[in-house]
Amino acid sequence: MRLLAAVLALLAAAPAAPPPEARALVAGSGGRPTLVHLVHAPCACSVRAAPQVDRLRPALGGKVRCVAVVDLPSEEAARWLASAGLRFEPFADPELRTVAALGADRSLTTLLLDAEGRELGRWRGHDRAKLAAIAQAAACAAGMPAPELRLDDVPAETVAGCTFPSR
């Protein structure tokens, strides 16, 4: 009976395996952490935030993979990212399966995943403090110093983003 209790306690303490959708996002990361930014294409907030979020990519010097989950088919997602100035790798999610599996309900949600797809951090909305915190957490996960980011044009107050439509 003690052995069973010990095994159950160990299982309860073990972290849950990441969902397959999270593992798909980190596939090809080469063991690097992955920054995942969720975008709802019709959301004007996503368009305004894109160039500011894109500052993370060069600041992290390739030590963190940067992926944008866009609620459009592949070719449209890539075009949307280019037109908005977000040069993250596109990950098309037109049916919002990945968004749902990650438990996100709004755009401007950013996740930091380890190489196995486990969540290291989650930020809802977009503002100066969040962008700085994302940069610091991603740099820490990559074993590098926190980068300096230009934040003067980033909103001081949180912009919540738009609700993803239910599918």
Q: Please state the pTM of the whole predicted model.
A: 0.88
Span between the terminal Cα atoms of the chain, in Å: 46
Q: Is residue 92 part of a domain?
A: yes
Question: 108: domain CATH number?
Answer: 3.40.30.10
- pLDDT > 90: percent of the chain: 87
Q: Is residue 32 part of a domain?
A: yes
Q: Is residue 86 part of a domain?
A: yes
Which pLDDT band holds residue 166 (cuts at 50, 70, 90)?
Answer: confident
Residue 127 falls in which region: left (phi positive, over 0), alpha (psi -120 to 50) or beta:
beta
Tally of structural domains, the chain: 1
Q: Is residue 6 part of a domain?
A: no
| pLDDT tens sequence across 112-135 | 999 999 999 999 999 999 999 999
Q: Is residue 104 part of a domain?
A: yes
For residue 54, the enclosing domain spans 18-141
